[in-house]
Amino acid sequence: MLGLMIAWAGAVFWAVGLTRLQPLTEPVGEEVASNNTYWARDLRWMAIVAVAVAFVVAARSSAAGLGRVRAWCLAAGFAVAVAADLVCDRLDVTATIPFTVGAVVVVTAGWLALTRSGPARSARAADPDGARNPAAGPTRAVVLAAAVAAAAMPLAAAIESPTDTEASLDPAAIGVGVLLAVAWLYAMLAATPSRPRTVLAIAMAVVAVVTVVLLRQIAPGTRFGPMSAAGAVMLTLTAPVDWDRREAWWRYPVVLFSALVGYPFTVMLTVLLGMMLPVPAIMTELAGSPPVNGADTDTLYALTGVLTGLVAAWIMRRSRPGQSLDSIPEARAAEPR
């Protein structure tokens, strides 16, 4: 139920952000777009990311698990959501209630289709733990989803606008940041089904929400350092989910140090790639919005968060301490023949 509530919240924010917030960011008359002009678009796309994280976890936890076909279907659904956002942005839609209801209906239909499908009863009986077997692969998808949410959350919480005076900026940034934090927690708990949850879940939730709120209290223009520290902490909390429970916790300082260096480096690298490969500018053009002036840079922090999370998840997987899956007999037995 928590996953569906995350999806609903993401759908509602997407609709409100599209019909209410986006018109506030569009340059009018002689105005020109500059850095962070399209912050509402970034927050909408981060809400879509939170919905995608919830869907990945739901697919992994369903009877059918997360196979290759379903993974591609989820990726296609994410692409369709972004394309729909661009089309609606170009049309300058303002009907908040119809779009909110429509988004919730679409998300609910997709959720029901995802969670109610499954293999035959005999297949589930033959492999009752298949959907939760780390060696079988689905856990990797959930850890990846958690890493993406962890990487995107500080970017949403620290987002700025050209003036930083909009009354809706802080509530929107906090709302999406908290939504990503809840999505991260949802993925973390799904990836650790056999471990104690209550105290750990409360502690992680408090840390994530407090981090989001504190980032908004820092003066604009000086948030990169605290945002990088927050991202490093979030990824450090995510990394041990894929560890064997017998492994030493002294690895935490090493992971934290690596994240403190790696998170800001990857964020800056993806922003520079966006400058060389003008994906943000192309998205702005497709949305029918005025281009950012030549003295500034068009950025897409939602894309930065996704790419940073994917890189972090890949590094976590490659540097996972302990035995490799190929050396574990149970893992080899779980592989399809």
- pLDDT, tens digit (0-9, with 9 covering 90-100), for 223-236: 999 999 999 989 98
> Which pLDDT band holds residue 12 (cuts at 50, 70, 90)?
very high
**Most distant pair of Cα atoms in the chain: their distance:** 68
Q: Is the pLDDT of residue 121 over 80?
A: no
Q: Where are the domains of the chain?
A: 2-23+37-118+129-325
Query: Are the CB atoms for 158 and 215 separated by under 8 Å?
Result: yes
Q: Which of 124-128, 139-143, 158-162 has the least mean pLDDT?
A: 124-128
Give per-residue pLDDT as tens, 243-287: 655 555 666 777 788 888 899 999 999 888 877 888 999 999 999
State the alpha helices, DSSP H only, in the chain.
2-16, 22-25, 39-61, 68-91, 96-116, 121-126, 138-157, 169-191, 198-217, 224-238, 251-276, 279-286, 301-318, 329-334
